Amino acid sequence: MLTDVRPAAVPRTRRALTGHRLFAVVLALAAALRVVTMLGYRPAQLYWYDSFTYLDTAVHLRPSATFHPIGYPLLLRVLWPFQSVEVIAAVQHAMGLGTGLMIYALLRRRSLPAWGAALAAVPVLFDASFLRLEHAVLSDTQVVFLVVAGLTTLMWSPGLSARAATGAGLLFATAALTRTIALPLLILVLVLLAVRRVGWRPLAAMAIAGILPLAAYAGWYGHHHGRFALSGADGVALWARTMTFADCSVIEPPPEEARLCPNGTVVDAASEYVWAPGASLNRLPGDRFSHNGLARSFALRAIAAQPLDYLREVAKDTSLAFAWTPVAHPRRVTPAFGFARGSWDLPDQPLIDEVRREYDPDIRGLYSVRPYADLLVAYQYPAYLRGPLLGAILLVGAVGAVLRRRAVLLPWAVAAALLAGPVAVLDFDHRYVLPVVPVACLAAALAIRELASPTPPPARARRARSAG
């Protein structure tokens, strides 16, 4: 019996693999680029505040009282036995490849041709900004992977089952526990699914699977810090956002909050007010994050008193994403084209010695290695998704969402939320735009497919005939 089955099974497998040859080549080239990145820049990019806080939290497993919830430190904890930040970078490069693979697989499942599905995955696989992001000890790559995985789970089958909804809920909850900016995505997706009338069972399953992990973490956070919350910095971030427009003669805050009014300190981006020594928040006694509740109260009052000013600032900063030349905002950052030759010392960070002792004894400053770095320095200039092209991708998705809402609205709405959300609660940063790219490409590809196919795809047509 086995000898009779194998000859038929082998051609089927071969035919299935033949249909994906193009993407196999694309994925192999993307993997080669990531190997070159690891060879060209050793050991990995470490940032002054974020990277060392993540590593320290991974060792001690306690909820941070600042910006960072536990999701990314849990991944670092799993990788702790390797005691190497290079292993972290390697895993994140694999996540980048996995994100591209999910986009391709979902689009093929949705009847896109191989070349179209592969093209939609090209930005996340080949944009040099993603190579740099994956090579840094930062949570962004994990967020991108989890959001795309959640959408893939939701959209894989025409009918949403309770099991798939549960998996998607867990993925979006983990994304929110990785970066709190992903928390509104869970709410947004639940609302869109309710509008689509997917049924109460999958909706309830996703809500429970999404809410329970968040509630458990908020309870753990409250045990350590005395407040049921996911973060101890949401108020500080929103206060910094309002410093670009707040006018206390209009707001008329109570005396306690009036201490947070603008005091004449001027910086080049809203997020810089969090750290500016002269800013009003940082002149209060104690740590800046100890005033998180007061800062939140002031910020909400300011937005309620000056809603148009708030929306103007959000729109102005969001528009920076569509500039042809990457905008350094704040000016101290390198928004793109950051591959260079040389060596860079570790930042002046009090946690360095502790992290080196407890997580990776070989932590040191980043340095480039030739000829691999030379290749990446040249590669990064053409391999960058320019702002107007991102705008065009989002526009195509928007048209598809309006005309064929069922297939396109969900990923497009998630992309729009990822674009505007960080600006609305803190500030624009080119790094915060990168999670938008793969989701926007997914929405645009689905939109083109839907708009180009006025008749149902073959699979749906066959099902309709069978039902008839």
**Phi, psi of 368, rounded to the nearest 5 degrees:** -95, 155
DSSP notation for 345-402: PPPS-TTHHHHHHHT-TT----EE-TTHHHHHHHHTTTS---HHHHHHHHHHHHHHHH
Q: What is the pLDDT of residues 146-202, one digit of tens each?
A: 999 999 999 998 889 999 999 999 999 999 999 988 999 999 999 999 988 888 999
pTM recorded for the entire structure: 0.91
Distance CA 233, CA 291 (A): 9
The secondary element (H helix, E strand) that includes residue 52 is helix 50-60
Residue 20 has a CB neighbour count (10 Å cut-off) of 17
Distance CA 460, CA 25 (A): 30
Provide the percentage of residues in the chain whose pLDDT is more than 90: 72
Distance CA 122, CA 131 (A): 13
Closest CA to 58 of 47, 46, 74: 74
- Flag whether pLDDT at 461 surpasses 50: no
Tokens of 50: 């974020």
Q: What is the pLDDT of residues 105-152, one digit of tens each?
A: 999 999 899 999 999 999 999 999 999 999 999 999 999 999 999 999
**Own/partner pairs for 257-263, CB < 8 Å, 24+ apart?**
257/294, 257/297, 257/298, 257/301, 259/284, 260/284, 260/291, 260/294, 260/295, 260/298, 261/298
Residue 146 has a CB neighbour count (10 Å cut-off) of 26
